[in-house]
Amino acid sequence: MGHDTGMTQEIENQTPSPESNQRRQALLAAVGLAAGLAGAAWAWQKYQARPATDPAVKLFWQQVFERPEGGDLSLQKFRGKPLLVNFWATWCPPCIEELPLLDAFFLEKDAKFVQVVGLAIDQPSAVRRFLSQHPLHFPNGLAGLGGTELGKSLGNTESVLPFSIIFDADGGILRQKLGKLTEDDLKSWRQSLA
């Protein structure tokens, strides 16, 4: 019996006081808030708009890619109007799923003021084969592995595909999205350009 009393006292001694619980909860709340603010600051820094004078953005506009059907795709010729750029690959299921959405967006009459360009980060033969079976109306460039580095310089540090960027008419980055685009994304982007 004396042994049980000792265990009860031991348990009672381990039970935190209400003041201790309040301090612990306040500390956890403060840590959570700090982590949340740090995460928000990181996300804002990573995905904030970037002006046309940003070195990576300037380099983007200098790029020229081979087109799957032959000829060159100079990004400079798209300058002056809003531009949606989509980095994709044939081996990326979400990329393949969003391509019809991008093609429909490109063909819409009210979206004509937004240009669309695809940059395929893939083997040229795979892209040509895919496009022969699933033609797209918007222009595409064969970016290959260099496209991965270009995407990283523009904010896709994790090399996630698909990756989309909307450039404003001045040539600066307005918005970005890692992962598959949705109708809502395109609607929101269209409204932000109006």
Write out pLDDT tens, residues 151-177: 999 999 999 999 999 999 999 999 999
Domain coordinates in residue numbering, the chain? 2-46, 50-193
Q: Taking 50 as the threshold, does the pLDDT of residue 42 lie above it? A: no
The values of phi and psi at residue 21, to 5°, are -60, -40
Q: What is the mean pLDDT of residues 113-136?
A: 96
Q: What is the mean pLDDT of residues 125-150?
A: 96
Closest CA relative to residue 175, chosen from 164, 159, 161, 191? 164
DSSP state of 63: -
- Say which CATH superfamily domain 50-193 falls into: Glutaredoxin (3.40.30.10)
Distance CA 105, CA 163 (A): 16
Instruction: Please give the residue that has the higher pLDDT: either 127 or 18.
Output: 127
List the 64-66 sheet strands across, edge first.
Answer: 72-74, 64-66, 140-142, 115-120, 83-88, 163-167, 173-178
Query: pLDDT digit string (tens) for 13-39?
Result: 555 566 655 655 544 444 443 333 333
Q: Is the pTM of this model over 0.85?
A: no
